[in-house]
Amino acid sequence: MSHPHPELGPPPPLSSDALRVVPLGGLGEIGRNMTVFEHRGKLLIVDCGVLFPEEEQPGVDLILPDFDYIRDRLDDVEALVLTHGHEDHIGAVPFLLRERPDIPLVGSRLTLALLSAKLGEHRIKPETVQVGEDDRRSFGPFDLEFLAVNHSIPDALAVAVRTEAGTLLHTGDFKMDQLPLDGRLTDLAGFARVGSEGVDLLLADSTNAEVPGFVTSERDISPVIDKVFHDADQRIIVACFASHVHRVQQVLDSAKAHGRKVAFVGRSMVRNMNIARDLGYLTVPEDLLVDVKQLDDLRPDEAVLVSTGSQGEPMSALTRMANRDHQIRIEEGDTILLASSLIPGNENSVNRVINGLTRWGATVVHKGNALVHVSGHAPAGELLYVHNMVRPRNFMPVHGEWRHMRAHARVAVMAGLDEDRVCLAEDGVVVDLHKGRARITGKVQAGYVYVDGTSVGDVTESALKDRRILGEEGFISVIVAVDSTSGKIVGEPEIHTRGAGIDVEAYDQVIPKIQESLEKAATDGITDPHQLRQLVRRGVGRWVNETYRRRPMIVPVIVEI
């Protein structure tokens, strides 16, 4: 089983009869999915998504793939294929199109509609190529065939990529629900047919590779949602992903059956559900929907709100409701339904929201106490089924954290693949397919690119470290005036502090130490402001650490007069 090595260097030049695979995101993490394929000097990109920040990335709005690897070769990009419309697969497209706006975007009807609405907000008019299952299209040296897959959003696709160097199959995110709400099954016959032709490299979704068995059907959720509606005697607020059309459909059906009206809350929820309804993916009974402003005209037992915020996002509608920072006020007896799974890393945020909602008297129904969500990803039993059908010559697990990818690698070996045919890579690790054999050949830069407000890439790991220190330890600024000629201190140092948890009067202990060290520096002929700042920083830092066992950010300011 090949695996990345920290000492991997740049990959060698690619021969004309080889196919190169470069994951720029989505390996070793849940999100930021982006893979670049290269053959005969041309590039094909599959997916271009975002990763949402965690607590140790304060102030960050989104995390993008690093485009540096392809930045100088954007003219070589034949197309960007989008497997489905989730943010972790399409969210970074606007940022890529800023660098080359005419990259052809290839995807299904719903995927392109959701993406076009997003791009409209960025004032980008894309060049799109709509495809469906069973379609075949060629882009440069890449011959693509699209296969239907079932997922937690309609219109998801897998893609088979045929080249002179070999054939690969990329599943995208998928599961094998045998009773899907929309009747659209994963095309197992298509997988088997492509497999019988010969798949040289399989790239498959690993998110649920640790979970045994087969996925629970979406249909099993409907009775649970219906029971929630039956038992609730006040308002019902449902939180789910703004793209989960199937879940929203189940909520609409239950609301209709129980004589309730539904209002969508949150810009992305309103936008996506309008698109889904207009395209026929969401069936809305007549007179069921109302504007959120009309809720005051309804009795509590007549109202249902469908909102974003199932992951505890700080600015989402549900989080603001929990914090009493939203026009909709949670009241005693309200029922909150969190109809989604937890993305790894969001547990603390979601628990805070649940506690906040419960504080105001709401009953919170979530995955931990009811079957209100099933995953959109294939568990180990289904993955084994796919491996046995496709029988790939080589395998590369994608879309998952390390534990998921390693579990998927074990599934591949159980299915009969030799360990040395499994390429266990991570973001930036290059895999070359040559003469039927896939091997790790090098590594390219594939770090995090942070979006903070309107800035893209300006926030560095060093800046995030400073933010964490400020958030956890506070800061101390020390202003010292010195004579520009002699370096001697003029007057008494001023100390200002925020969030350090130290009483102002306590600084009387350290001011003499600062004065003493600066006077000694002046005697030694040290007048360089940088050196003086370092003296102040070390002196104050040592005192704070020894006295309070704290490490706040210390900002010395030397004013020359």
Annotated binding residues for substrate, written as ranges, equal 373-377
184 in Cβ contact with 380 (< 8 Å): no
State phi, psi for 371 to the nearest 5 degrees. Answer: -85, 80
DSSP notation for 210-269: TS-S-PPPGGGHHHHHHHHHHH--S-EEEE--TT-HHHHHHHHHHHHHTT-EEEEESHHH
Q: In 3D, which of 216, 283, 282, 215 has the Cα closest to residue 244?
A: 282
The strand pair at 201-205 and 166-170 is best described as: parallel
The identity of residue 31, as a single letter, is G
Half-sphere exposure of 540 (CA within 13 A, CB side): 33
**Could you give the CA distance from residue 24 to residue 536 in angstroms, rounded to a whole number?**
43
Structure tokens at 468: 């964490």
Q: In 3D, which of 218, 240, 254 has the Cα closest to residue 336?
A: 240
Q: How many CB atoms lie within 10 A of CB 230?
A: 11
Strand order in the sheet with 136-139: 136-139, 142-148, 157-163, 166-170, 201-205, 395-398
Which residue numbers belong to the known binding site?
A: 373-377
Q: In 3D, which of 185, 182, 96, 114 has the Cα closest to residue 149?
A: 185
DSSP notation for 478-500: EEEEE-TTT--B-SPPEEEEESS
Q: In 3D, which of 403, 364, 83, 421 has the Cα closest to residue 232?
A: 364
Q: In 3D, which of 283, 271, 240, 284 has the Cα closest to residue 113?
A: 271
246 in Cβ contact with 182 (< 8 Å): yes
Q: In 3D, which of 561, 456, 411, 453 has the Cα closest to residue 64?
A: 456
End-to-end CA distance of the chain: 66
Structure tokens at 103: 């990259």
**Could you give the CA distance from residue 49 to residue 52 in angstroms, rounded to a whole number?**
10
**Could you give the CA distance from residue 10 to residue 499 in angstroms, rounded to a whole number?**
45
Structure tokens at 305: 């709100």
